[in-house]
Chain A
């Protein structure tokens, strides 16, 4: 079995093992789940390090025929390019952190951990799939767990509403995307959803204009809804606000990125005409994410809603990078995907800790937490600074690359992005930091505790460390994702500047976060 298959099967096998343990052995269940996710995380790191950027486009491939009928062919095909390797790395890390912060779950622990492991496995499967049927299949595995987790372990009065809203929005987006994928299967004439075979087929016989005109918007808006593209975004803050921490971490951090990942994998490289027609629209819609969601975040009084809206604003950068369709911009988009995965997971883990300790998420009621919780407070500071796009964190590298990449084609939107992402983001992030951490003591439960042991601190350290690591050495990422991104950009804009000249610029721009021009 290939390394990729082993990686994505580990959470499922763990879930199966957990299923066999009686529910009242909570300690065993927790240890087993943690062990499984630890193994997954280690495999994810190994896969990332072993990925060879100079090697074949797809590595660690696993391929077996799944359905071979004359009318319906399907391959189980997994493998990673640079983008997938990076996403698998953060997925396995965030998955481990999510299991670790779920140590406190006391109500129906076993069910919770099984659902969480299925979610992690689904996310890994989605990023590892080289067959679009399996991409969809794995991505949708998270749907029922999300619903149950928000309902049973969620917080807030209107969590039922939030649970319905998130599942129905995600289903609507996924169904529209599914129609697009099926149309790709049939209208391309390739009669397969295997990405490698599809690309080979399309290189010889490109999709007709009418087919692209139908499929591209299906994929753009279908997958866009999964990411929270303005104006199909309102499910996200509410859903995350009510979700238990692990679910919010997995969703905001990881599953959301599957939509962007699919746009990079399918929509851009396979439909150049669609790209030409629809990317200007995406560029305008991403202003909605950047500005509107930023302003909404500014008005939030609830910490989770603030983080949720700010995460939508960050998605605006990823959309802008994609809309630029340049090598630099797309690299930036992938960097944003990776860094935001760590950032969102860290933010929701922290907010869950704070809620657990203070009993509230209302920013105004908190205050002076830094004194009582120096560790959590410091990590929160790091995390929010990363969210403002301060150099030294991975987000900065990504946002800067996006703006460089998009400047030539979309200068006005870059201005908006710089202003929206950096100024508005700075306002609400720093204001929240001031209120929560400094000033007079707000609600203080007598039991208020900082993360007590090194072990409880570990998930936070892991995620924050990832942000810093990729902020200081973005080259570790860009080196791996560049070949894949270059291919995407070449296929998406066949007539554009040859990538050979663009590539070194990217590396230089991203590796040395030299002049923070927009800060």
Chain B
């Protein structure tokens, strides 16, 4: 057993426990400081603890086996850094927001750390059982995080919805894993990959795989398992929503990549029509439903569905380029969405409602916050020079060659174009509210603390960096997907 690979996970777990323990001795008035300590601790781990994965290494395998439940490779390292960065920014945001929690501020920080722990394990998953454990850790902590504003009915409602639907999804998944184990005799991704030629014709295995994919679709909010997202996004505290949108979705994405391209690439290739249809429907559902929304958090819920659809373009592309584009897109999404939610949590800190009209006049009140939110909406809409544009460009670039092979990909491209055009409408609606939305409720400038300013700066720099200088991340994402082995469908040969 090679437990030195999971030193980051151990440190995060210790940090979470430390925050819980410190709560016992910390006077109630100072508990917000624990958030700074947690964020600082994560920053130390982020800068010191992360090592490049020079070669693929496994942990928790059978003695002598060349594989294990846990894998450390460049894909995993990329996502671990991603989750740590998201965790730091979310903790900064939640310190700012924590004034609105009646009690249990330090539990909030510590639960955020435990959700992060689940995500870190998800990044290195190489086994269906570890996948289930990681996902359950994420889901259960999020149930509490979602319903953390116990004095608000909508928060409790969101928690109940997330609990019930999340438990259903988990049930699907565990049933699927049972079927997979029953038919394959193993839950290890490498061993399944070695046996997939025979498993591909085993209906029990395929049914099990469908159930597993259903569970993962729930995590990333893809059609037809997307119904929870708007309600939960709307009811949760803003930092939780942000972490759901970024962290939980990215965990689903890394697991999806590993299952589809590391465990069962041949079956994935056979099912390409399914992924095309799901991607197209997810884009269209998210975009169309976002049109009439007035609640900004609910809007972001639908936007997150639409973005799940855009991410699935990379799955439908059945190529390393597609997987690399997904990584690029989700990295841009991290900065973009966290920028949006940081502004949201500052603006919504004073008011109960999150109607779009809350943002009226923000361009005059706080030009800086309005500019950041404008950039982030433009990035979500895929406008240069921001991260979202390069992400969408790379995703489309990975799908276009497939259009020469199967006409259904033309439909997918059409859905993507329609989704982008519609997204202009709802994202720019927020820009409109900020600059000429009518009478503002309040006119005094909003106070922003230095850590919030720092977090916003990181997000804006990240958006512009990924939008203007794509080279660095392209250079990182290309080798990161080398561990994945996508295949093309047998009948289809890509034109030169």
Contacts and interface: CB of A to CB of B under 8 A. Distances in A.
A67 B421 contact: no
Contacts of A147: 428, 431-432
Contacts of B374: 144, 148
Contact of B320 (A71, A141, A172): A71
Interface string A65-100: 011111110100000000000000000000000000
Given A69-B474, A175-B417, A151 B435 contact: yes
A179 B470 contact: no
A460 interface: no
Contact of A69 (B420, B421, B424, B475): B475
A189 interface: yes
A179 B435 contact: no
A284 interface: no
A111 B374 CA distance: 13
B276 to A, nearest CB: 16
A381 interface: no
Contacts of B393: 133, 178, 182
B495 interface: yes
Contacts of A179: 396, 400, 413, 417
B400 A137 contact: no
A148 B470 CA distance: 27
A148 B431 contact: yes
Nearest to B374: A144
Interface residues of A, number: 44
Interface string B332-349: 000000000000000000
A210 interface: yes
Q: Could you say which of B321, B367, B378, B384 has the most chain A C-beta atoms within 10 Å of its C-beta?
A: B384
A293 to B, nearest CB: 23
Interface in B352-396: 363-364, 367, 374, 378, 381, 383-385, 389, 393-394, 396
A176 interface: yes
B436 A182 contact: no
B114 to A, nearest CB: 36
Nearest to B397: A182
B324 interface: yes
Contacts of A168: 421, 424-425
B17 interface: no
B45 interface: no
Contacts of A185: 397, 400
A322 to B, nearest CB: 24
A183 B397 CA distance: 8
A68 B400 contact: no
Interface residues of B, number: 41
A363 to B, nearest CB: 27
A187 B409 CA distance: 15
B471 interface: yes
B403 interface: yes
Contacts of A189: 496
Given A178-B393, A183-B400, A185-B397, A167 B428 contact: yes
B413 A67 contact: no
Q: Could you say which of B394, B416, B431, B469 has the most chain A C-beta atoms within 10 Å of its C-beta?
A: B431
Contact of A186 (B383, B401, B436): B401
Interface string A17-30: 00000010000000
Contacts of A163: 432
Given A71-B324, A210-B404, A167 B397 contact: no
A171 interface: yes
Contacts of A67: 470-471, 474
A484 to B, nearest CB: 26
A178 B384 contact: no
B495 A187 contact: yes
A62 B471 CA distance: 18
B196 interface: no
Contacts of A182: 393, 396-397, 400
B384 A172 contact: no
Given A167-B424, A168-B425, A187-B401, A70 B478 contact: yes
A67 B420 CA distance: 25
Nearest to B399: A182
Given A71-B324, A176-B417, A179-B396, A137 B384 contact: yes
Nearest to A148: B435
22 contacts: A67-B470, A67-B471, A67-B474, A68-B471, A69-B478, A70-B478, A72-B321, A72-B397, A111-B367, A133-B393, A141-B385, A143-B378, A144-B431, A164-B424, A164-B425, A164-B428, A167-B428, A171-B420, A171-B421, A179-B400, A179-B417, A183-B400
Given A74-B470, A186-B401, 12 more contacts: A23-B367, A67-B471, A68-B471, A71-B324, A72-B321, A136-B384, A160-B432, A164-B424, A164-B428, A175-B417, A182-B393, A186-B400
Interface of B: 320-321, 324, 363-364, 367, 374, 378, 381, 383-385, 389, 393-394, 396-397, 400-401, 403-404, 413, 416-417, 420-421, 424-425, 428, 431-432, 435-436, 469-471, 474-475, 478, 495-496
The 5 residue pairs across chains A and B that have the minimum distance between CB atoms: A137-B384, A175-B417, A186-B401, A69-B474, A67-B471
Interface of A: 23, 66-72, 74, 108, 111, 133, 136-138, 140-141, 143-144, 147-148, 151-152, 160, 163-164, 167-168, 171-172, 175-176, 178-179, 182-183, 185-187, 189, 208, 210-211, 214
